[in-house]
Structure 1
C-alpha cells in the first residue's frame, strides 16, 4: 500500500493526514511541533505553531470572483464535514452558533444580498439585520447566520489522537527540505510527501503575518465580526469547552516582533466592547 508522509502537524497537516487515512492510505506525520494543552504551552517556543493560536471560526464570505467562488465551495463542504463531526464526536471541540456580521462599507455583493440569494449560496438561517440592530450609525449593513466555531487546542489534539489510534505513525523531528520526507528512518517505500509546514521551507511566495488577539473569560453566545471602513477589524470567537473567548484582532504583514502590544490589546478590548456591549455582562 502507498506510504504517504505529511510534513507538519498544524490543523492543515492533521486534517490532511486523517482524511488520507480514511481513504485507506498508510500515512505518517513528520513535524517539529504537535498539539499541546494550552496550560503548558511555552508561547515563545511555540510561536511558529500557529494553529493553536487561531480563533477559530467560519465566516461566510459572499463571493465576487472566481477565486472567492472556489473558496466558498470549499467552505460549504467544510461546513458539512464539521456538522457531521460535531454530531458523531461532540468531544472534538466544535460548537455551532450564530455568526453576526457588521460592515461599515459593504461591497456591492453584500448590499444586494437577499435572503433568497443567501439560501442559494448555502447559508443556513441567514437574515439581514435591521438598522435598529446595528451597534452604531457607522455600520451600514449587517447579517446573522448559522455557523461554527472550534476550540483549536482541543480540535487539533482530537485529530492527532484519532490519527494515532487508527494506526498513523508520528515522528517528531525538524527537517530542512521536503525531500527528507522520502528518507525517514522507519518508513519504507515512501511514494508521496505532502508539505503542510506553512512557512517552514522559506517559500519566496510566503511571508509572515503577525496577528494579535486576546483571550478573555467572558462568554458570548455568538461569533461577531465587524469590518471597519479603514480596513481594520473587531471580532470575537467563542472557544467553548472552557476556552474562553478570543477578542481580536490585527493583521501585520512582515512584522516579526514576538512581543504583544499592551496598547493594541487595550484598544481591541475597548473597540469590541463598544460593538458588542453584552460581552461585559451585567457587572
Structure 2
C-alpha cells in the first residue's frame, strides 16, 4: 500500500488527505498547526491561515481559462458540501443565500441573467431590483451558496481522517524534501503532497494581510460588496454559535500582525451602511475580537502540479489559492488525486472515483 504524506493541515491539506485516503492509500498529515477551537487559537498562529479564512462560496463569473478552471473546482466543491451537509449536520456547513453588491460592475456581471447563471451551474440566482440595493450600489444579485464555521469544519475533517486510520505528526518543516528521510510507522514516503501554503521558496508567493472583526450579531446571508475604489465590504456568518465575520481588507506584503482599531471602526461602519439589518433591535454591533490573518497568495494563481525532486522523489504541489481555499478545496483535492494516479502508473483511462465516495 503506497504511503502518502500530506504537508499542511489547512483546508487544502485536510481535503487532499481525505481524498487520497479514499483511494486506499496510507496517509500521514505532517503539520506545525492543527485545527482547534476559536476560543483557544490565538495570534501566535497567524500563519496558520485556514482558521481565519472567509470560508464561504462566492459567485465569480469566469472570464478566462484560469478562472474557468477555478469555477469548475468551485462547482465540484459546492456539490461535495451539499452532500456532506445532508449526511453530517454537525460538520459546520450552512447553506444560505449569498448576496453580491457591486458599485461598478464589469461586463461579466452585467451580462449575468438567470439563463447564464444556470449555464454556470449556479442555483437560486436572481438579479436584485433597484429598490433592493444599498445607496451607491449599481448592480446586485442573490444566489444559493454555503459557508462554514472553519474551526468546526476543519476539526470535523481531521476527526474523519483519524477515525478512518489516518496518522498525524505535529512537526515544523524547513524544507519539504527532508520528509523523505524521516521514519514513519506506515513505512517510507512514496509521494509527498505539499499543501503547506507558503511554497517554501517559491518566488511567486506573497502574503496578503486581511483584518476582520468577529461580532456576536447574527446574519442570515453572506454579503459581499465590491466598492468602486477597489475595496471590499463583506460579512460571513460563522453559524454554530460562531458569530459573524465582518471584513474586508486585502493588503499584499503587509506583515503587521497587530489589528487596528481604526480599521475595525471603518469595517463596521461600512458594513452597517450596506446591510443595516445586522444591527438588530439594539442598533449596534457586539464585538468579540479583532482578527488578522495572512493569506498565502501566488502570482499567476495556484500551483497544482507534480515535481520530481532529487533522487527521483515525487512531490505534488497544491498551494497558492489566496482567499479561495475553502471554495476550491474539493476541486483541488480531486486534482491532487488525479496527479497521484498518474504517478502511480494507473492507466490514463482509469476513472477517478467522485468525492462523494471519499468516506465522508
Q: What TM-score range do you get, normalising by the shorter chain?
A: over 0.9
> What secondary structure is seen at the aligned counterpart in 2 of 1:40?
coil
Residues 1:142 and 2:140 are matched in the alignment: yes
Q: CA deviation at 1:164?
A: 0.5
- Distance change (3 Å), C-alpha of 1:197 and 1:237: same
CA deviations 1:102-147 (Å, max 9, x no partner) are 00111101111111111111110100000110011x2111000000
C-alpha separation between the residues in 1 aligned to 2:180 and 2:187? 9
Q: What's the TM-score, normalizing by structure 1? A: 0.97
2:160 — aligned with what? 162
| Alpha-carbon separation, structure 1, partners of 2:87 and 2:204 | 38
1-side partners of 2:207 and 2:138: how far apart?
32
Structure 1 match to 2:15 = 15
2:199–2:205 Cα contact (<8 Å) kept: no
- Tell me the secondary structure at the aligned position of residue 45 of structure 2: coil
| 1:1-283 matched pairs, under 5 angstroms | 1-43=1-43, 45-136=44-135, 138-186=136-184, 187-199=186-198, 201-283=200-282
Contact conserved, 1:55 with 1:151, CA < 8 A, in 2? no
**Aligned residues of 1:213 and 1:247 also touching (Cα < 8 A):** yes
RMSD, aligned CA: 0.9
Gaps of 5+ in 1: none
Following superposition, the deviation at residue 202 of structure 1 comes to 2.9
Cα separation, 1, equivalents of 2:105 and 2:169 = 47
Cα distance in 2 for residues equivalent to 1:31 and 1:130: 48
Q: Could you say what secondary structure the match of 1:207 adopts?
A: strand
3-state SS in 2 of match to 1:144 = strand
Farther off after superposition, 18-27 or 225-234: 18-27
* C-alpha contact (below 8 Å) 2:30/2:170 kept by paired residues: yes
Deviations 1:257-279 (A, max 9, x none): 00001100100000000000000
In structure 2, C-alpha distance between the alignment counterparts of 1:11 and 1:56, rounded to whole Å: 9
Q: Provide the aligned length of Structure 1 versus Structure 2.
A: 281
8 Å CA contact 1:102–1:139 kept in 2: the answer is yes
Residue 189 of structure 1: how far off its partner (Å): 2.6
CA–CA separation in structure 2 for the residues paired with 1:79 and 1:57: 10
Unaligned 5+ segments in structure 2 are 283-360
TM (normalized to structure 2)? 0.77
